[in-house]
Chain A
Amino acid sequence: MLLSVENLSVAIGPVEPLSGLSLALDRGEILGLVGESGSGKSLTALAVTGLLPLIGGRVSSGSVSFDGVDLCRLPEADLRGYRGRRIAFVTQNPMTALDPIQRIGDQVDVVARLHLGLGKAAARARTVDLLASLRIPEAAAICDAFPHQLSGGMKQRIVIAMALAGDPDLIIADEPTTALDVTVQAQIIHLLGQLARDRGLGLLLITHDMGVVAQVCDKVAVLYAGRLAETREVGQLFAAPAHPYTRALIGCIPREGMAPGSLSGIPGAVPSVATYPGGCRFHPRCPRAAEPCRAAPPPFAARPGGGMLACHFPLEPADA
């Protein structure tokens, strides 16, 4: 297994915004991590890359094992050898992800110079090749441009090029399309999916968009309020969601032939860390909630039909 997250909990000061997260991802596989804003998706990305201290957080329990090495036990200096080299990161907003006063080429070059020990010219040649392979026109000229001279979609391609520059085994993409125009979103998602398959990379795709998940992912992990609700193979999940929250998320995807106004939302909002309810954290918004849901959190356990689930009253295929 390339990436195996076991029972991971993240603490920021006295609060624990993420608890008991378990994920598994292999080479050439795309895992979608889905949830609404504030569910702990980005924290997961930071925990895997060891960047939690930047926002004042830390891993309070559990482990992140990457290619057999527990990254949580690794000293910071060793961890830096993984970041950008074996684990690459594509951030949410390409508009702010690039250093606005540094030339594009230099920002991409640095990864190969730092991690692969390439010289200036070799790193630049590699960057130009990389940009060209991402179908960025006039790659050599783009290298001399500054970020504000490029469009949003182009900037996100640059960020992806930066991620690929270290020849990584795992790419974590945190909402890579949220800040882009709809027309560009599909291109970027398609590009990421293709890269994972062609290069045999593991891709952890963090998104709030079930539509994106349906397009490219192999497996899905649904996160709600800092806990996993359900993990499944993607076809099964869409065919028969077992968690009421999963079904509600799927109901948010617009589909062809839908009557106007019939697109459903999920009533209420994700509670903040300070106001996580007791029991199952979804119960205040859940149509199936009953007494046990208020009393105790459901265990996250394997299901007979495959996948893992945390629900006292799971939906049967017939309900979906």
Chain B
Amino acid sequence: MPGFLIRRVLLLLPVFLAVSVVIFLILHLIPGDPVDNLVKVGTPAAKRAEITARYGLDRPLVVQYGIWLWAVMHGDLGTSIVTHRPVASLIGQALPHSLALGGAALAFSSALGILLGVVAAAWRDRWPDQIIMGGVLVGSTLPSFWLGLLLILAFAVQLGWFPVSGARGWDSLILPVLTIGLGGTALVARVTRVAMIEAGGRDFVMLLHAKGLPPGRIRLRHVLRHALIPVVTILALRIGWILGGAVTVEYVFARPGLGSTLIKGLNQHDYPVVQACLLMLAVAVMLGTLLGDVVQALMDPRVRGALG
């Protein structure tokens, strides 16, 4: 297992390098010049050139990449072109909000989704299944920004239970978590249901029944353990998505976060901020995948065996 972990982490290095090249290049291929944001219209060309040189934007791309990567490795994500603050501190402010929202949404959608999936599979094709799967269909098709507005209208404006927006207390987290989590719940419930039905039809389940084990115990202690293996994979893949993909929800609830920092950076051609945000999201996706693989290896001895 430790060997597996080390090998798996080493495998991430080339992926990280490739992703960093792509992130670096994409921004330089986007039309628009960040210097335009720094100078007034009609600034003399000499002044322009000086500013360009100060930010290193006149050097060859390869050199710019090297400088950037070296700095990133040392925790220096550069200085925001627009706000003149270190990008690391901008990210440092946004990340905890994204982690809180993403983590809570993930926990909520896993818990509820797995529960609903198990119930739906147990009562397959009967009314509990039909109700849950109907709800799942609705939940997975609702656009999250619209759902967010509806929730604000109902629970914040009409009932006044939760704050309308912001990120001050734990109660301001509930509506955004519901907004993001419901879509995830639908996905998890669907995957869990299918996995439960698939695992429940395997040969060894028949033999468990033949051993005289109670059906509830077979379902929860054996079938569910198998069904959770694909569910864990899906959840791990969603970690990166939830951190960055919550942009619309962050906007609707006026919450700070990685997603809104990224969008703002894009609008202002603030290269260092955009690069840092994308890099954070890429790292989140990579760590999510790693986590998924590790959990899967912990759950399935066959995976451990195959990896030595």
A146 interfacial contact with B, CB 8 Å: yes
How far apart are A97's CB and chain B's nearest CB, in angstroms? 5
B-contacting residues of A (Cβ < 8 Å)? 49, 51, 54, 80-85, 88-89, 91-93, 96-102, 110-111, 114-115, 146, 148-149, 159, 162, 166
Q: Give Cα A191–Cα B150 distance, bound, in whole angstroms.
A: 68
In the complex, per-residue mask of B202-242: 1 if CB is within 8 Å of any chain A CB, else 0:
11101111111110000000100110000000000000000
Interface string of B80-114 (1 = CB under 8 A from A): 00000000000000000000000000000000000
Contact A89 B222 (CB under 8 A): no
The reply to whether B203 and A93 contact each other, CB–CB distance below 8 Å, is yes
Bound complex: CA A49 to CA B225 (Å) = 26
Chain A residue contacts of B225, Cβ below 8 A:
101
Of B210, B211, B302, B305, the residue contacting A110 (CB under 8 A) is B211
Write the nearest CB–CB distance from B26 to chain A, whole angstroms.
42
Contact among B210, B214, B305 with A89 in the assembled complex (CB-CB below 8 Å): B210
A179 to chain B, nearest CB (A): 10
Contacts A96-B204, A97-B203, A99-B222 given; indicate if A162 touches B301 (C-beta within 8 A).
Answer: no
CB within 8 A of B305: which of A54, A83, A149? A149
Asked if B119 is an interface residue, CB under 8 A from chain A, the answer is no
The residue in chain B whose Cβ has the minimal distance to the Cβ of A92 is: B203
Instruction: Identify 17 residue pairs between A and B in the complex whose beta-carbon atoms are under 8 Å apart, listed by A's number.
Output: A49-B210, A51-B210, A81-B212, A84-B210, A89-B211, A91-B210, A96-B202, A96-B203, A97-B203, A97-B204, A99-B222, A101-B300, A101-B302, A110-B211, A111-B211, A114-B211, A146-B305
Known: A91-B203, A101-B299. A84 touches B211 (CB 8 A): yes
| Cα–Cα distance between A88 and B207 once the two chains are bound (Å) | 9
Partner of B302, one of A80, A88, A96, A146: A146
User: What CA separation (Å) do A114 and B221 show in the bound complex?
Assistant: 15
What is B's interface to A at a CB cutoff of 8 Å?
202-204, 206-214, 222, 225-226, 299-302, 305
| Nearest opposing residue in chain A for B222, CB measure | A99
Given contacts A93-B203, A98-B204, contact A148 B210 (CB under 8 A): no
> CB < 8 Å: which of B212, B213, B214, B226 contacts A101?
B226
Report yes or no: B212 in contact with A148, Cβ–Cβ below 8 A. no
Query: Once the chains are docked, how many angstroms separate the CA of A98 from the CA of B202?
Result: 10
| Residue from A54, A80, A88, A166 within 8 A of B214 (CB atoms) | A80
Decide: A148 and B301 in contact? CB cutoff 8 A.
yes
Inter-chain contacts of A49 with B (CB < 8 A): 210
Please judge, given known A-B contacts A148-B302, A149-B305, whether A83 and B209 are in contact too, CB under 8 Å: yes
Alpha-carbon distance between A89 and B204 when the two chains are bound, in angstroms: 12
Q: In whole angstroms, how far apart are the Cα atoms of A92 and B207 in the complex?
A: 10
A80's partner among B204, B212, B305 (CB-CB below 8 A) is B212
* CB–CB A101/B211 < 8 A: no
| Contacting residues, chain B, for A146 (C-beta < 8 A) | 301-302, 305
Are B212's CB and A114's CB within 8 A?
A: yes
B110 to A: closest C-beta gap in Å: 20
What's the count of A-B pairs with C-beta under 8 Å? 72
Question: Would you call B204 and A54 a contact (CB within 8 A)?
Answer: no
Contact call B206/A148, Cβ cutoff below 8 A: no
Q: Which residues of A contact B208 (CB under 8 A)?
A: 99
Q: Which residues of A contact B301 (CB under 8 A)?
A: 100-101, 146, 148
Among the listed A84, A99, A148, A149, which residue makes an inter-chain contact with B204, where contact means beta carbons less than 8 Å apart?
A99
How far is it, in angstroms, between the C-alpha of A88 and the C-alpha of B204 when the chains are bound? Answer: 14
Q: Which residues of A contact B212 (CB under 8 A)?
A: 80-85, 111, 114-115, 166
Interchain CB contact (< 8 A) of A51 among B203, B204, B206, B214: B206
Distance in Å: Cβ of A84 to nearest Cβ of chain B: 3
Most buried by A among B206, B214, B305: B206
Give the residues in chain B near A89, CB-CB below 8 Å. Answer: 207, 210-211
Closest CB in chain B relative to A141 CB, distance in Å: 15
Report the minimal beta-carbon distance from B139 to chain A, rounded to whole angstroms.
Answer: 30
Chain B residue numbers with a CB within 8 Å of A110 are 211, 213
Which of A114, A159, A166 has most B Cβ within 10 Å?
A114
User: Given the complex of chains A and B, what is the CA–CA distance between A105 and B301 in angstroms?
Assistant: 15
User: 3 closest pairs, A vs B, by CB?
Assistant: A84-B212, A89-B210, A83-B212
B33 CB to nearest A CB, Å: 57
| Chain B min CB distance to A45 (Å) | 9
Please judge, given known A-B contacts A99-B204, A99-B222, whether A54 and B299 are in contact too, CB under 8 Å.
no
Query: Which residues of the partner chain B approach A99 to less than 8 Å between Cβ atoms?
Result: 204, 208, 222
Closest to A49 in B: B210
Residue of B nearest to A148 (CB): B302
Which residues on the B side are within 8 Å of A51 (C-beta)? 206, 209-210
Pick from B207, B226, B302, B305 the residue with the most CB of A within 10 Å. Answer: B207
The CA of A82 and the CA of B222, in the complex, are separated in Å by: 21
Q: Please measure, in the bound complex, the distance between the C-alpha atom of A84 and the C-alpha atom of B252, giving whole angstroms.
A: 58
Chain B residues whose CB sits within 8 angstroms of the CB of A91 once the complex forms:
203, 206-207, 210
With contacts A82-B212, A114-B212, A146-B302 known, is A100 near B204, CB below 8 A? yes
Asked if residues B302 and A100 are in contact (CB atoms below 8 Å), the reply is yes
In the bound complex, CA of A84 to CA of B301 (Å): 26
Of the candidates A54, A83, A100, A148, which one forms a contact with B211 in the assembled complex, judged by CB atoms under 8 Å apart?
Answer: A83
Min CB–CB distance B210 → chain A (angstroms): 4
- Give chain B nearest CB distance to A87 CB in angstroms: 8
Q: A85-B212, A115-B212 are in contact. List 4 more A-B contacts (CB 8 A).
A: A80-B213, A81-B212, A101-B300, A148-B302
A264 CA / B301 CA spacing, docked (Å): 46
The complex places the Cα of A99 from the Cα of B225 at a distance, in Å, of: 10
Task: Give A65 Cβ to nearest chain B Cβ, in Å.
Answer: 19
